[in-house]
């Protein structure tokens, strides 16, 4: 019987548990055993193994976080760490490893693939959606839902008090959450790194001033990607307050965007990719990510997922830009 191992690695993402479930059930269906290692790559090196049985999978898909636990483990870049992991995997008689994670984890998977004879398969799990070769990643749409709900809540109080807010969303160095949350939250402004790596204070301030003078009793929300404004949104709010003469409030949403029950879309995606990962192993694949493009499951060489840039969807960029302008036009017109 072939044994498969699975880890969740890097930042956890809602849907990882549903993916583990699909991997375990599909593997058993094909007569294979599954072992998990807790805390990602560190757990392999330290042999923190945990057998995974279909019975353990009954109530996991609904839960956020990861039942296998995760960690960031930069030490895995070292050849000695990859070789140590290979030894542990061999000692357990494991023939294939599924890595559920984001770009850092896929770099680790690629590295391990060069130092281990077993098959290595990646499944994209990150709220950031910043992996090329897949339209979406596990956890992304749930994180957008969470950000949208937070923006809606801030909108109500902002509207009641006619306030300006700059709301910071996650994404590391990518603007996918920012773009989608800005559209869904009907934001008046959006700052994401792909479009404006160095946004200009005067421009943002001018837009706020014009909107405020045309419609002083309204709220005004700018969605800002993390790591974009030096000092974050608290600093941006201070600078905008000075530049506009209006108090601007900062709301960094932070890790609430990573937690929570996965939405239906993420559960379905996770199970689809988890099942396809096991099928890919049966077919002999290695060094590939299992992703989804236009509804179809695809296999992409894993190094291409982090070596290539993934662009924002221009149609959505234009949608947000157009609506921002129209919103403003209706206020001044
Ligand atoms: O990669 C997911 C993510 O949540 C990013 O959006 C964010 O920049 C980062 O992880 C935060 O990492 P940590 O929880 O380790 O601080």
Nearest ligand 1 atom, CA 10:
1
pLDDT of the residue at 329: 60
pLDDT of the residue at 333: 45
Say what the pTM is: 0.97
Both 122 and 182 in a single domain? no
Both 121 and 11 in a single domain? yes
Both 168 and 249 in a single domain? yes
Nearest CA to ligand 1 atom 12: 11
What are the start-end ranges of the E strands in 170-232?
189-191, 220-225
Q: Containing H/E element for 3?
A: strand 3-8
208 Cβ neighbours under 8 A, 6+ residues apart = 164, 189, 220, 222, 240, 244, 246, 248
pLDDT of the residue at 1: 54
Backbone angles phi, psi at 93, to 5 degrees: 70, 30
pLDDT of the residue at 83: 98
Both 278 and 250 in a single domain? no
For ligand 1, whether the C-beta of 102 sits within 6 Å is yes
Query: Which ipTM score applies to this complex?
Result: 0.99
Q: Is residue 313 part of a domain?
A: no
pLDDT of the residue at 330: 56
Both 58 and 102 in a single domain? yes
Both 7 and 120 in a single domain? yes
Q: What is the CATH number of the domain that holds 78?
A: 3.40.50.450
For ligand 1, whether the C-beta of 110 sits within 6 Å is no
Number of domains in the chain: 2
Q: What's the CA gap between 125 and 140, in Å, rounded? A: 8
Both 67 and 18 in a single domain? yes
pLDDT of the residue at 120: 98
CA of 291 to the centre of ligand 1 (A): 21
Q: Which of 8, 11, 176 maximizes ligand 1 atoms within 8 Å of its Cβ, making it the mutation to test the pocket? A: 11
| Annotated catalytic residue 128 | yes
Q: What is the CATH number of the domain that holds 197?
A: 3.40.50.460
Both 7 and 123 in a single domain? yes
Nearest CA to ligand 1 atom 9: 172
Both 272 and 293 in a single domain? yes
Domain that holds residue 222: 141-258
Q: If you compute the radius of gyration of the chain from its CA atoms, what whole number of angstroms results?
A: 22
From the first residue on, what is the mean pLDDT of each consecutive set of 10 residues in the chain (333 residues)? 92 98 98 98 98 97 98 97 98 98 98 98 98 98 98 98 98 98 98 96 96 93 98 98 98 98 98 98 97 97 97 98 76 48
* Active-site hit among 12, 128, 130, 145: 128
Q: What's the CA gap between 66 and 249, in Å, rounded? A: 34
Q: What's the CA gap between 234 and 331, in Å, rounded? A: 27
For 231-234, which contacts have Cβ atoms below 8 Å and span 24 or more sequence positions? 232/168, 233/166, 233/167, 233/168
Both 253 and 146 in a single domain? yes
């Amino acid at each position: 019987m072939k044994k498969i191992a699975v880890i969740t690695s890097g930042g956890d993402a809602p849907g990882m548990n549903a993916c583990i479930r699909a991997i375990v059930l599909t593997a058993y269906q094909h007569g294979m055993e599954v072992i998990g290692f807790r805390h990602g790559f560190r757990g392999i090196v330290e042999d923190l193994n945990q057998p995974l049985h279909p019975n353990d999978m009954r109530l996991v898909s609904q839960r956020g976080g990861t039942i296998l636990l995760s960690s960031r483990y930069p030490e895995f870049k070292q050849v000695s760490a990859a070789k140590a992991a290979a030894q542990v995997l061999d000692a357990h008689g494991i023939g294939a490893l599924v890595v559920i994670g984001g770009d850092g984890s896929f770099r680790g998977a690629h590295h391990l693939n060069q130092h281990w004879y077993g098959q290595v398969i990646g499944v994209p799990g990150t709220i950031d959606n910043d992996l090329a070769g897949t339209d979406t990643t596990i956890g992304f749409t749930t994180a957008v839902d969470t950000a949208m709900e937070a923006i809606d809540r801030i909108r109500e109080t902002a509207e009641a008090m006619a306030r300006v807010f700059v709301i910071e969303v996650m994404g590391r160095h990518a603007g996918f959450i920012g773009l989608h949350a800005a559209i869904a939250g009907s934001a008046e402004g959006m700052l994401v790194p792909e479009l404006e790596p160095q946004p200009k204070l005067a421009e943002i301030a001018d837009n706020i001033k014009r909107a405020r003078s045309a419609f002083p009793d309204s709220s005004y929300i700018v969605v800002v990607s993390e790591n974009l404004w030096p000092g974050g949104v608290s600093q941006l709010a201070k600078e905008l307050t000075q530049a506009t003469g209006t108090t601007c409030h900062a709301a960094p949403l932070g890790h609430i965007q990573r937690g929570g029950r996965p939405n239906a879309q993420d559960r379905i995606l996770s199970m689809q990719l988890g099942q396809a990962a096991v099928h890919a192993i049966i077919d002999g694949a290695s060094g590939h990510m299992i992703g989804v493009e236009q509804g179809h499951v695809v296999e992409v060489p894993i190094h291409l997922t982090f070596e290539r840039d993934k662009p924002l969807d221009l149609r959505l960029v234009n949608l947000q830009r157009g609506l921002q302008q129209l919103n403003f036009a209706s206020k001044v017109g």
